A = this chain, B = another copy of it.
Amino acid sequence: MNLLIVDDEKLIREVIKEYALNENYKVYEAENGIEALKVIEEVNIDIIVLDIMMPKMDGYSFFQELKKEHNIPTIILSARNDEYDKLLGFELGVDDYLTKPFSPKELIARIKAVIRRGKHIENKFNYETLVVDFIGHTITIDNKEINVTPKEFEILTYFIQNQNVAISREAILNKIWGYDYFGDDRTIDTHIKMLRNNLGKYRDLIKTVRGIGYKFEIKK
């Protein structure tokens, strides 16, 4: 498990690091949001501990930036209680929250809890007004349900599970139709066509990757 600590105070970083190392986490550090983003590009971070008050790029900006591209669980550290309200107002997907001063033990406990929770599969995919409900098996755009066929739903699900990844037609065939299926590659084109039509204003989320296949692209 890779843990990233984003805090401008070295002492805090050191303390957290010591406890985290003790729990066999691999620990990365960043003094500010800009540094943190760099680390995230380079390493597959599993969980972030973020101090909300920082010089350079502050916690809020960093967090917003982070959520555009990644969905890494994040625990927020803050000095004051009233900042919590501010965070809530942001409607951000904070996973947990601690006010300073906090006990490192508690922080570690929360980290564990967040990771445990994170293992659960999400029930829904949200992107702007597009909501894919995997439990209810429905798709809504602007709160209006749209109808897609079973195959289209499966393909979209596969795309959502592989955002920003170029996927070959063969891969799609293998995944959705199974390895024992031998049909025409072009069939997928037709399904993509229908799916795009049904996605309406979100049709462009499905990009064509010439020579390869398709890609479900969520822009940052």
Hey, which bits of chain A sit against chain B, CB under 8 A? 11, 15, 18, 22-24, 81, 84-85, 88, 91, 93-97, 99-106, 109, 113, 117, 123-124, 133, 135-137, 149-150, 164-166, 209-212, 215, 217
A105 near B101 with CB under 8 A, answer no
Measured between C-beta atoms, what is the minimum distance from A29 to chain B in Å?
16
Contacting pair A135 B81 (CB below 8 A): no
Complex Cα gap A18–B126 (Å): 14
CA distance A63 to B93 in the complex (A): 31
Q: Is the CB of A212 within 8 A of B137?
A: yes
- A85 to chain B minimum Cβ distance, whole angstroms, is 6
Q: How many copies does the complex hold?
A: 2
Q: A84-B100, A136-B165 are in contact. List 19 more A-B contacts (CB 8 A).
A: A11-B85, A15-B88, A18-B91, A22-B124, A23-B123, A88-B104, A95-B103, A96-B106, A97-B101, A97-B103, A109-B117, A133-B164, A135-B166, A136-B217, A137-B209, A137-B215, A149-B211, A150-B210, A150-B211
Residues of chain B within 8 A (CB-CB) of A101 are 81, 84, 97, 99
The CA-CA distance from A124 to B164 in the complex, in Å, is 13
- Complexed CA–CA distance, A102 and B135 (Å): 26
CB distance from A74 to the nearest CB of B (A): 10
Q: Which residue of B lies closest to A79 (CB)?
A: B81
Give the Cβ gap from A113 to chain B, nearest Cβ, in Å: 8
Complex-state Cα separation, A218 to B210, whole angstroms: 28
11 A-B contacts, Cβ less than 8 Å apart? A22-B124, A81-B101, A93-B105, A95-B105, A95-B106, A97-B102, A97-B103, A136-B164, A136-B217, A137-B212, A137-B215
Complex interface: chain B residues within 8 A of A123 (CB): 23
Interface pair A94/B105, CB less than 8 Å apart: yes
Contacting residues, chain B, for A106 (C-beta < 8 A): 95-96, 113, 117
Query: When the two chains form their complex, are residues A164 and B150 in contact, meaning their CB atoms are under 8 A apart?
Result: no
